[in-house]
Structure 1
């Protein structure tokens, strides 16, 4: 990994889900996805700490976390309060809440994309690749 490799913050409270996402991304057939550095956070508080210390290119954001709704963090990223003057990462809501109003709420809160759980590994890789391709 080089300093130019993308960084992804995975905000997911379930340890098994974090492990699975990391394994899928590490085996991706897209080089930028495979070479990405994956940071993880099991809660909103941990995500805020990571974002306060680290530049990231993409946040994969679970909406239902033990300490609140992930959309709160999406709003903070849009407002710039979570990244302290650094560029805003792309945000993809990753959730089992798949009703049309859930998708609309995620996009309204500032998410750049939405991925329904459960999803196929190829869908995860495609969404990550799409958003990483937009980084400057």
Structure 2
């Protein structure tokens, strides 16, 4: 079973993402275990202790910009348990330079907010192993 770390400070958004993924028509997405973190600090702790396959990473968090964590993962400054997960930036910042900054920081994908449920499921499916 795959594991997803959802890094999102808004509890309502975390609940929505979990509900969408639990109802996905793709079995691997539907069966994935979802861990969550509301801050970068919590995300770092979870990455160090729990192997995850995918990080859905909000950019605007109470303790910093999500790209900081993406850079730390790419540079090896955060040593995730179980290996390096795929990272997808999830943000309302949709300007081309924001997308480029996310990719430059080490993100493997980008999902614009607001997004359709089908887009979320497709991005998750694309970045889960197997």
TM-score of the superposed pair, with normalisation by structure 2: 0.97
Distance in 1 (alpha carbons) for counterparts of 2:124 and 2:89: 11
Which residue of structure 1 lines up, in the alignment, with residue 21 of structure 2? Answer: 25
Aligned residues between the structures: 130
In structure 2, stretches of 5+ residues that fail to align are none
Change (3 A) 1:78 1:29: same
In structure 1, stretches of 5+ residues that fail to align are none
Distance in 1 (alpha carbons) for counterparts of 2:111 and 2:32: 19
Give the root-mean-square deviation of aligned CA atoms. Answer: 1.1
Question: For residues 9-88 of structure 1, what are the structure 2 equivalents within 5 Å?
Answer: 9-84=5-80, 86-88=82-84
Distance in 1 (alpha carbons) for counterparts of 2:122 and 2:81: 29
Q: How far off is 1:85 after superposition?
A: 6.8
Contact in 1 for aligned 2:53/2:86 (Cα 8 Å): yes
Q: Deviations over 1:21-60 (max 9, x none)?
A: 0000000000000000000000000000100100000000
